[in-house]
Amino acid sequence: MFNISNLTVSVEDNEILNNFSLDVGPGEVHAIMGPNGSGKSTLAHVCAGKEDYTVLNGEINLNGEDLLDLEADERSTKGLFLAFQYPIEIPGVTTLTFLKSSLEAHYKANNKEVLSTPDFMKLVKKKSAELNIDDSMIKRPLNVGFSGGEKKRNEILQMALLDPEICILDETDSGLDIDALRLVAEGVNNLRNEKRSFIVITHYQRLLDYIKPDFVHIMYNGKIIETGDSSLALELEKSGYNNYIK
Amino acid sequence: MLTEEKNINVEEQVVAYCKDNIINQDIKHPLYPARLGAYELFRAHGLPTTRNEQWKYTNISSKLERIPSQSDVKPVPVNLDNFINNFEIVKKAKENKDSVLVFMDGAMQSQLSIVNTDTKTVSVTSLKKDPIPDWAVKLNSEKHSQNVNEMFNLNTALMEDGAIININNNKGIADNIYIIHVGNNDGFYNYRHMINVQNGAHVNIIEFKISNKVDIEALYTSSIIWQIGNNCVVNNVKYQAHNQITIGFNQQYADIANDTEFNSFTISSGSKLLREFRDINCNGSNSNISISGINLLDGDSHIDTMLSVKHKAPNTISREKYKSILNDNSKGVFQGNIIVDDIAQKTIAKQSIDALILSKNAEHDAKPELEIYADDVQCGHGATTGQISQDSLFYLKSRGIPEEEAKRLLVHAFLTDALEEIKDKKILETFADVMNNMLNRVSKGNLNV
Ligand SMILES: Nc1ncnc2c1ncn2[C@@H]1O[C@H](COP(=O)(O)OP(=O)(O)O)[C@@H](O)[C@H]1O
Ligand SMILES: [Mg+2]
């Protein structure tokens, strides 16, 4: 379904990802854990099509199609979603306008009929209520003045609206208190189904108490150095990364 | 130096042109003394150079090479009528029984214009018609006698036509007046509008200035003199979209009395060289004004805004908010002076000048200046120059929004708070389509930095 193979990526002549490979099947949840600077966000950005990186080698395939030649917007409309570690604030564009443009772009790219404005509003209201997002928040400029929790809930709202096949969550738990964490995790769990897959990037085992992964990978120096099931996360929590880093 | 030579050449041409014009004027005409005086002043000073502080960033001689030659006959083309009527805005205006004044190449086209006479609150005549109302003669000579602005003097010496508008309503229902100016032939055009807003009147004046074709070589000077009374609400929006070879010098003077709201918003795009000179005087207390605008520049366009706002009475508020978008090799210049007289206590004056640069070679210079002689005031100014944030662009694209649309959203976002200065919601609606087209152009342009 979603396959990353032998991906080598550099930034300003520093190799950040080093022959990285990962296969994600339909409906699977993969957690990627690793110390700061191991390349987790870089991986997420490269998958989503950020341009500051040089891909030296490898492929990223979604349903057999190589994403590397596609623009970020095309990757999105083909079913990839990245929940940002640091969602961007955009003054002057309301969250609602942004959601509408984004959803319309998806419908257009996939030759679907664009929702009427009332239907769009209904959909947004329903999805945002599930995430405890109130009307006033979606009328505000995108992420501007949002608290950490509001920003992350907004990311999950976008994910819920865009109905992606592969979701990459980059430290969605960082900066959240326990209530916000529970809400966000519930939002993610509601979206789990036999087709949709997740790559959950996190520092802490905590999130994985709520979002139960099928696989846990430890990433270090731009590649996966250990893979296991959810018990690996628990072990890691106890013993720290040092046991795995050679 | 080559450029100096050019300057002298074109200056000689302009002086000669003025002289011919003056010789042909009727010396008994009430505007003659002002014309003659202005001509003499212009001849003495010539065209401004960059040595003049107010022209520091704009070298006229590098843009103005000659007076465009004029076709002898200037018939109103058959298509102009169609052209005007195809304008969605004109259609709506006519439906609403608003007044629509049509100008072609600086000359009023009475057969295409309509003045709403139902309400008896708007009267319109033109500079070409006799008699010129006394207030207009007086206003004209007052402005002229205090004036040191070369391009205004040139305009006074040469002005051929223009609208003279008197607004006298007091029921709180605004009169809407559209002034549509179409550039249709090569040549040198000079026109002046004078607008008298009487005490208590509400009026919306919407100006359009457009080039009908991309290859019309026009040089023009224009002036608008506003005289605005007490307790008025005046909303003015000017939209000017010239072709890339038009050179224009616009002067705007406004005198504002007590308890009046004056919002003047300008949207400019195109032009080889466009000068926007504004001199706004808050002469009475408790007035609230906004002088704001948007500039959209591409190609080799150069727009120079020289704005001076003078607070001459207590308790007045002024806002100036300008946003410019610059692409290709364009250049934007903004000089904004706020002057607060010693008696103008409790003045609030805010100025912000922001530019978004979309290409490597575009340039924006902003020079704010505050001269404050009162102690109890709140004055502030800020200027920024920036680029489209790549992080923002990536964020939008990562949600499926194509690059062109993402840029459009970001450009629109940048312009949003300036657009809020168009206070009349109906006018803002009117401009929604116009703005959309403009934004489409910007986001479709070769913006790849
Ligand atoms: N744009 C960039 N320019 C230079 N170095 C970068 C850039 N992005 C990431 N890096 C470097 O790549 C390494 C991995 O960073 P990152 O992917 O953010 O790690 P993680 O998300 O695992 O903490 C770090 O050493 C970081 O400094
Ligand atoms: Mg990271």
Using a CB-CB cut-off of 8 Å, the residues of chain A touching B415 are 92
| pLDDT per residue as tens digits for the range B281-314 | 999 999 999 999 999 998 999 999 999 999 999 9
Distance CA B274, CA B58 (A): 10
Give the relative orientation of helices B390-397 and A95-109 as an angle to the nearest 10 degrees.
Answer: 50
Show me where the domains of chain A are located: 2-239
Q: Which of A15, A36, A42 to mutate to test the pocket of ligand 1 (most atoms within 8 A of CB)?
A: A42
Question: Tens digits of per-residue pLDDT, B141-152?
Answer: 888 877 779 999
Percent of chain B at pLDDT exceeding 90: 70
pTM of the predicted structure, to 2 decimals: 0.85
Tell me: cis bond preceding B368? Omega within 30 of 0 counts: no
Our CA angle for B142, B143, B144, nearest 5°, is 90
For chain A, strand residue ranges (E) read 2-11, 14-24, 29-33, 54-62, 65-66, 80-83, 90-94, 141-142, 166-170, 197-202, 215-220, 223-228
Nearest Cα of chain B lies from the Cα of A108 at a distance, in angstroms, of: 10
Give CA–CA dist A93/A95, Å, rounded.
Answer: 6
Q: What is the DSSP string of B2-41?
A: HHHHHHHHHHHHHHHHHHHHHHTS-TTSTTHHHHHHHHHH
Helix axes A117-130 and A95-109, enclosed angle (nearest 10): 110
Tell me, what's the ipTM?
0.96
Contact A46/A7 with Cβ under 8 angstroms?
A: yes
N residues, chain A: 246
The Cα–Cα gap between B303 and B363 comes to 11
How far is the C-alpha of B249 from the C-alpha of B436, rounded, in Å? 27
Distance in Å, CA B376 to ligand 1 centroid: 51
Beta-carbon contacts of residue B429 (< 8 Å; ≥ 6 apart): none
Distance CA B407, CA B443 (A): 6
Which amino acid would we find at residue B163?
A: A
Angle CA(B366)–CA(B369)–CA(B375) in degrees, nearest 5? 150
**Residues B3-56: tens digit of each pLDDT:** 444 456 889 999 999 999 999 999 999 999 999 999 999 999 999 999 999 999
Average pLDDT of the segment spanning B338-361: 96
Which of A52, A62, A73, A151 to probe the B interface (max B CBs under 10 A)? A73
Q: Give the DSSP H/E element, type plus range, for residue A238.
A: helix A230-239
Residue B277 and residue B312 in contact, taking contact as beta carbons nearer than 8 Å: no
What band does A246 get if pLDDT is binned at 50, 70 and 90? low
More confident residue, B285 or B110: B285
What's the CA gap between B412 and A93, in Å, rounded? 8
Using the mean position of ligand 1's atoms as its centre, give its distance from the Cα of residue A18 in Å: 13
Q: What is the pLDDT of residue B447?
A: 30
* Cα of A221 from ligand 2 centre, angstroms: 13
In total, chain B counts a number of residues equal to 449
Q: What is the CATH number of domain A2-239?
A: 3.40.50.300
User: What CA–CA distance (Å, rounded) separates B246 from B68?
Assistant: 10
Cα angle B383, B389, B395; round to 5: 145
Q: Which residues surround ligand 2, an ion (CB under 5 A)?
A: A 40-41
Residues of B in contact with A101 (CB under 8 A): 396, 399, 401, 405, 409
Q: Which of the four pLDDT bands, split at 50, 70 and 90, describes residue B72?
A: low
pLDDT (tens digit per residue) in A122-133: 999 999 988 888
Q: Are the C-beta atoms of residues A16 and A216 closer than 8 Å to each other?
A: no
Q: Which residues line ligand 1 (CB under 6 A)?
A: A 11-12, 16, 34, 36-42, 52
